[in-house]
Amino acid sequence: MKKFLSVLLIIMLAVSLGACDTEDTIGDENGPENDSNDSNEESKPENESTGELQPENGAKLVAWESEGPELEFLEYAAQEFEQKYGVEVTVEPVSHTDALKKLTTDGPAEVGADVFAAPHDKLGEYVATGLIRENDITSERVNKDFMKAASTGVTFDGKVYGYPVGIETYALFYNKDLVDEIPETYEDIIEFAKGYNNISENEYALMWDVGNAYFSHCFIAGNGGYIFGKGGTDKDDLGLNTDTAVEGAEFMVSLKDILPLNSADTTYQIMDGLFTEGKAAMIINGPWAVQNYKDAGLNFGVAVLPKLPGGKPSASFSGIRTMHVSAYTKYPKASKLFAQFLMSDEMLLKRFEMTSQIPPVIRLMEEDIIKNDPIVSAFLEQAQYAVPMPSIPQMGVVWEPYGASLSAMWNDDLSVKEALDNAVQTIEEAIESQGQ
């Protein structure tokens, strides 16, 4: 097992996000961050014996994280941080995917978070809008001790901005009480469905969030389609309506034969509920869901996604779960210290224990709690086929039209080619209108 994990990890470091180094220049940042913010705050001096950053006197922080095990971990970490540094941290439930929109309004109003969670694909937007501070206290450790995927995922234009706390991709979850043999291909699932599906009882062999481009992209990318060229950095090269992308999407739509539902009835919440109830035999999901299924007492396993026609691997998205320091914080030193605390080895191991999400530090892969975990092995195996989510600012205008095109081809009998052409046109127009 140890040798197996080590080989997979090496592959993962070489492939996952390694080609996603953003080279676009975004011009001057005009957010509120500047050097005077740090110097104007009354603060304790740097600890001369350890060189550790010290929080400002009277500092109080607000931190955002998605509801679920991640929020529970952050609450735990906040208590530990207060005991160690005397800084109170109020934890609030804000989805890591919603933080960008919320901080845009709450930051200037001085009611936003000081530290918050975000997926790495939003990095370009955060930097372009001046919403976050550079990570100037742990950048050396990020580049030295963390997986290449993680260090690249929090770096933009040569600068480290984020504090990586987890590495993610998605894979195949299966109910061991319903599935005797792990499917190697989608054809295997189609055969299984013939004896399992019962529409009147909401029993389906396979479910995933069809209209969510994050999940459905695995069919298109696995067949050669892509969002932006040059490893996700070329905004002028959209590859969602190429011949290979169309072919991959056509196969995805063919799976409606075993999942005969409107995409609105396959949402993450519905899928998650049916799997928990033992009705959906297999689903496509990520490591963030593991702890909830364990807590629910499900007898489940995780495996690499099934192969596409022609033996092609399904190419899931890979991403980095990241903490950021707001450019609007009144306590930049305390905020950076808390973010640094969250990515310490001790806290990352505790985070794994509480959330089952894989820490992105190389040496932690040798910890018994991680290296002996078969679920971790499955996600690492899938990671070798994963493609990184682009993190350039233009990625922000991709998700909605891309998802809409997937729902249209699934629900409305719109041709795959037409649906993807519409998505590309909408994305191109949005990029042009934003002057990007």
Place of tokens 């480290």: 160
Give me the chain's average pLDDT, please.
89
92-101 average pLDDT score: 92
Q: Which residue has the tokens 């918050």?
A: 116
Cα 361 from Cα 3, distance rounded (Å)? 18
Rg (CA), the chain: 22
Percent of the chain clearing pLDDT 70 (strictly above): 88
Q: Is residue 299 within 8 Å of 318, Cβ to Cβ?
A: no
d(CA 74, CA 157): 29
Three-class DSSP labels, the chain: CHHHHHHHHHHHHHHCCCCCCECCCCCCCCCCCCHHHHHHCCECCCCCCCCCCCCECCCEEEEEECCCHHHHHHHHHHHHHHHHHCCEEEEEECCCCCHHHHHHHHCCCCCCCCEEEEEHHHHHHHHHCCCECCCCCCHHHHHHHECHHHHHHCEECCEECCEEEEEEECEEEEECCCCCCCCCEHHHHHHHHHHHCEHHHCEEEEECCCCCHHHHHHHHHHCCCCCEHHHHCEEEEECCCCHHHHHHHHHHHHHHHCCCCCHHHCCHHHHHHHHHCCCEEEEEECHHHHHHHHHCCCCEEEECCCEEHHHECCCCEEEEEEEEEECCCCCHHHHHHHHHHHCCHHHHHHHHHHHCCECCEHHHHHCHHHHCCHHHHHHHHHHCCCEECCCCHHHHHCHHHHHHHHHHHHHCCCCHHHHHHHHHHHHHHHHHHCCC
Q: Where in the chain is the domain with CATH 3.40.190.10?
A: 20-168+319-381, 169-317+392-433
What is the 3-class SS of 89-119, one letter each residue? EEEEECCCCCHHHHHHHHCCCCCCCCEEEEE
Window from 21-30, 73-82, 217-226, 265-274 with minimum mean pLDDT? 21-30
pLDDT of 33 > 90? The answer is no
- Residue 396 pLDDT exceeds 60: yes
| CA–centroid distance for 144 within its chain | 22
Both tokens of residue 220? 């298109």
- The pLDDT score that the predictor gives to residue 14 is 39
pLDDT in tens, 333-358: 999 999 999 999 999 999 999 998 89
Among 42-46, 95-99, 177-181, 295-299, where is mean pLDDT lowest?
Answer: 42-46
Q: Mean pLDDT throughout 372-387?
A: 91
Distance, CA of 169 to CA of 180 (rounded, Å):
24
Q: What is the pLDDT of residue 32?
A: 52
Most confident among 75-84, 146-155, 313-322, 380-389 (mean pLDDT): 75-84
- Asked if the model's pLDDT at residue 367 lies above 50, the reply is yes
pLDDT at 3: 44
In this prediction, residues 411-432 reach a mean pLDDT of 96
Contacts of residue 346, defined as CB under 8 A and 6 or more positions apart, other chains included, come to none
pLDDT-derived band of residue 436, with 50, 70 and 90 as boundaries? low
Q: State both tokens at 153.
A: 């995922």
Q: Compute how many other C-beta atoms are within 10 angstroms of the C-beta atom of residue 325.
A: 31
Question: Given this structure, which CATH class describes domain 20-168+319-381?
Answer: alpha beta
Q: Give the residue with greater pLDDT, 12 vs 321.
A: 321
**Per-residue confidence (pLDDT) for residue 256, from 0 to 100:** 97
**Taking 90 as the threshold, does the pLDDT of residue 12 lie above it?**
no
Tens of pLDDT along 222-240? 999 999 999 888 999 999 9
Q: Which CATH class is domain 169-317+392-433?
A: alpha beta
| Mean pLDDT of all residues in 288-315 | 96
Reply yes or no on whether the pLDDT at 59 is more than 60: yes
Q: Given a cut of 90, is residue 277 above it in pLDDT? A: yes
What is the pTM assigned to this prediction? 0.80
Tens-digit pLDDT profile for residues 106-158: 999 999 999 999 989 889 989 999 999 999 999 999 999 998 888 888 998 89
Among the residue ranges 14-23, 184-193, 417-426, the one predicted with the least confidence is 14-23
Torsion of CA 174, 175, 176, 177, to 10 degrees: -150
Stronger pLDDT, 400 or 53, i.e. the higher one: 400
Give pLDDT, residue 41: 43
Q: Judge whether 13 and 360 are in contact, CB under 8 Å.
A: no
Residue 52 banded pLDDT, cuts 50, 70, 90: confident
Average pLDDT over residues 210-228: 97
- pLDDT band for position 413 (cuts 50, 70, 90): confident
pLDDT at 20: 39
What pLDDT, on the 0 to 100 scale, is given for residue 434?
Answer: 78
